[in-house]
Chain A
Amino acid sequence: MDRRDFIKTAGGAFLLASSGAYAFRVLTAPSAGWMDVDFTPSGRKWGMVIDMNKCREDCTACLQACREENNVAFVNDDRYDIHWIRKARLQYKEESENPGKSVILLCNHCDNPPCAQVCPVQATYKRHDGIVIVDHHRCIGCRYCMIACPYNARYFNMKESEEWPNKDFPKRSHGVAEACNLCAHRLDAGKMPACVEACARQGCGALYVGDLNDHSSEVSRLIAKSAVKRIRPDLGTEPKVYYIGL
């Protein structure tokens, strides 16, 4: 056997062994499955109502509270800052002297989330209670979800920020995508999301989060009795964030 043959055989055996090891690793990985979506029906479907009539234009309490609760990266550079919730000003293009009105924008937690549809690893998915959430342990950082989202609501952790205000909640290292998770950890614990609490503390009470399936809940009543709008429902994404006075 000459040197060439030796290299070939040894290389082949090594490749075989390592691919076997790789296959073993993939097959024994936790919860290997084609579609690991949770199908357990749950009575709840979280939704949000934003009453822009009650919202004060100069108030940013909800933005601040969100940052402090969820350790959202902020590096003071508008290309890399992450905003789970943000305030924008809307003006008609024709009449630029009109001051326009402000609006609160956040992830719409769509019922047909395009971001979850395109995620190649099911890191972004719709939880059984309707919250669209990112599993940061799985995200490979391909950024396809940012391209699919028609609401510009998804962000990428380009830079890590040093601040870590809420030590009980993880921050994110660079290289994963994220968006508002409707404070799922607080909802699970029976508390309201940080932005809602902050808004109530300011005395505005413009934000409501509640169960859309429960017809006696505050959000269902508001949706039933007032003129609500959603952002671009024509896209078929079925957003679950409703606006009053938009």
Chain B
Amino acid sequence: MDIQFESIEGNSWTYRITLIVLAAFTVIGFLATLYVIDKGIWVTGMTNRIPWGVQIVMAVYYIGLSAGSLVISGLYGVFGKLEYKPFARIAVYIAMLFLIAGLLSILTDQGRMDRVFIQPFVHFNLQSMFSINPLLYSGHILICVIYLWALFTERKKTTKVVATLAFGWAFCVHSGTGAIFGFGARMLYESPLLPAAFVAAAMASGTALMIITIVVLFRITNRHVDDALILWLGRFLAIILLVVLYFLFMENAYRVYVVELREAALYYLFGGWHAILFWFGLIIIGCCIPMFILFRNKTGNSVRWVLIASIMVVFGILCERYVIVLPGLMHPPEMFPGMLVTGTGVPEGIAPYSLSVVEVLQALGVFGAIGFLFVWGLKAFKLLPNEAKALV
């Protein structure tokens, strides 16, 4: 099988308008960030009780997408499935971009962005997950670049080595991200399962994203892709979704079962906005309906339905990130178990949180920036194959 990779022409008006729109997003996000630097973090809706918001949710989400896409490229690079070679380049490119997006989200969330480039490297703290993770992230970007280079120059042996390294590294990266929360001190974060659950969710969202990218991109650019390839990915996605559900169940079952966590767990499962996101966004739209679609013979064998399921999964995992990060912060740490604490000048009890415009604009800016790079990369690099055929 001989695959030719090519770049797209990029002369059409749709292409140009997409680029312009994405660039406009970037500019908006940049302006929003300047506003935050000037005024302080409070304009993004953060308070002393809710220190992390949408930017961190998006960072975790992007990093998950990145790790997941790398797994898809590993199908060819590590496991030698030749029929997935056509997608290897685009998968690694996406992995790299999303990691950059994650880092950008984290960067624009810092209170003192001017110090971020020096202090963490000079005063490294080996005990801090937040200090280890940037190392993993920058290593991940580096590996992606080498991987891309090996793929572009068609070096078979190097590809295999780098792909294996990248595969393992992606697991570490996402476990590390999970550990930021899982090893934390908040009642709803603390869980040794969380890194593993993060990896599962990452693989689900990454696979779903790759399905969407491949199907949409190939259709827009009039390329042929064999249905069998997509359908196989769909089944793969269904199995990962099972694992995701399993982890979700175990974690919440543990919390409801253990007496000291029960009150927090009930708050998590039934207490407010995020509960709606949890049940409808994550469980029903994100896991159950897609699994139903993918496991059912009739719909599971139709590319259109697999695409719909993938879109649901991508949305569902975004909800999962939200319900991991925010309820854990809204629920206060128990200083005096069984007691009611009032009158302190700080809002005690369940802390209120609502999305703010500025942080959504910032997130939009990050999305625009990497969307721009992605669309531009399609023209600048030879990322897309002329066609993708299944092995018979």
Chain A 27-40 near chain B by CB (<8 Å), digits 1 or 0: 00101111110000
A79-113 contacts to B (CB < 8 Å): 79-83, 86-93, 96, 100, 102, 105
B5 to chain A, nearest CB (A): 19
Question: Is there a chain B Cβ closer than 8 Å to A143's Cβ?
Answer: yes
Inter-chain contacts of B51 with A (CB < 8 A): 143, 146-147, 156
| Contact of A83 with B338 in the complex, beta carbons under 8 Å | no
Inter-chain contacts of B120 with A (CB < 8 A): 120-121, 140
Inter-chain contacts of B121 with A (CB < 8 A): 26
| Contact of A35 with B339 in the complex, beta carbons under 8 Å | no
| Contact of A91 with B40 in the complex, beta carbons under 8 Å | no
* A121 and B125 contact, Cβ closer than 8 Å, known pairs A78-B345, A232-B335: yes
A231 to chain B, nearest CB (A): 6
Alpha-carbon gap, A150 to B189, bound state (A): 12
Question: Is there a chain B Cβ closer than 8 Å to A210's Cβ?
Answer: no
| Contact of A80 with B42 in the complex, beta carbons under 8 Å | yes
| Contact of A138 with B347 in the complex, beta carbons under 8 Å | no
B332-375 contacts to A (CB < 8 Å): 332-348
Candidates A34, A92, A96, A142; contact of B124 at CB < 8 Å: A34
Query: Which one of B21-29, B65-73, B126-134, B154-162 is at the A interface?
Result: B126-134
* A92 and B112 contact, Cβ closer than 8 Å, known pairs A121-B125, A147-B184: no
Candidates B112, B128, B337; contact of A120 at CB < 8 Å: B128
| Contact of B125 with A89 in the complex, beta carbons under 8 Å | no
Question: Is there a chain A Cβ closer than 8 Å to B164's Cβ?
Answer: no
Question: Is there a chain B Cβ closer than 8 Å to A144's Cβ?
Answer: yes
Inter-chain contacts of B336 with A (CB < 8 A): 90, 231
B241 to chain A, nearest CB (A): 29
Inter-chain contacts of B337 with A (CB < 8 A): 232
| Contact of A78 with B347 in the complex, beta carbons under 8 Å | yes
| Contact of B333 with A25 in the complex, beta carbons under 8 Å | no
Question: Is there a chain A Cβ closer than 8 Å to B185's Cβ?
Answer: yes
Candidates A114, A138, A141, A152; contact of B41 at CB < 8 Å: A141
Question: Is there a chain A Cβ closer than 8 Å to B110's Cβ?
Answer: yes
Question: Is there a chain B Cβ closer than 8 Å to A164's Cβ?
Answer: no
Chain B 222-263 near chain A by CB (<8 Å), digits 1 or 0: 000000000000000000000000000000000000000000
Interface centre among A22, A88, A150 (most CB of B within 10 A): A88
Inter-chain contacts of A157 with B (CB < 8 A): 40, 111
Alpha-carbon gap, A80 to B39, bound state (A): 13
Question: Is there a chain B Cβ closer than 8 Å to A139's Cβ?
Answer: yes
* A176 and B112 contact, Cβ closer than 8 Å, known pairs A26-B121, A88-B344, A121-B125: yes
| Contact of A114 with B185 in the complex, beta carbons under 8 Å | yes
A220 to chain B, nearest CB (A): 25
Question: Is there a chain A Cβ closer than 8 Å to B49's Cβ?
Answer: yes
* Minimal Cβ-Cβ distance residue in A for B181: A147
Inter-chain contacts of A119 with B (CB < 8 A): 125, 128, 130
Told that A25-B118, A83-B346 touch, could you supply 12 new A-B pairs with CB distance under 8 A? A79-B48, A91-B342, A118-B130, A120-B131, A121-B119, A123-B123, A144-B180, A146-B48, A147-B184, A175-B112, A231-B336, A232-B337
Write the residues of chain B forming the contact surface with A, with a CB cutoff of 8 angstroms: 39-42, 46-49, 51-52, 109-113, 115-131, 134, 180, 184-186, 189, 329, 332-348
Query: Ordered nearest first, which 4 A-B pairs have the shortest CB separation?
Result: A141-B111, A175-B111, A174-B40, A158-B42
What are 14 of the A-B contact pairs (CB < 8 Å)? A22-B117, A29-B118, A29-B122, A80-B42, A86-B345, A90-B340, A118-B127, A120-B131, A120-B134, A140-B111, A143-B52, A147-B51, A156-B41, A159-B40
Write the residues of chain A forming the contact surface with B, with a CB cutoff of 8 angstroms: 22, 25-26, 29, 31-36, 78-83, 86-93, 96, 100, 102, 105, 114, 117-123, 138-144, 146-152, 155-160, 174-177, 231-232, 235
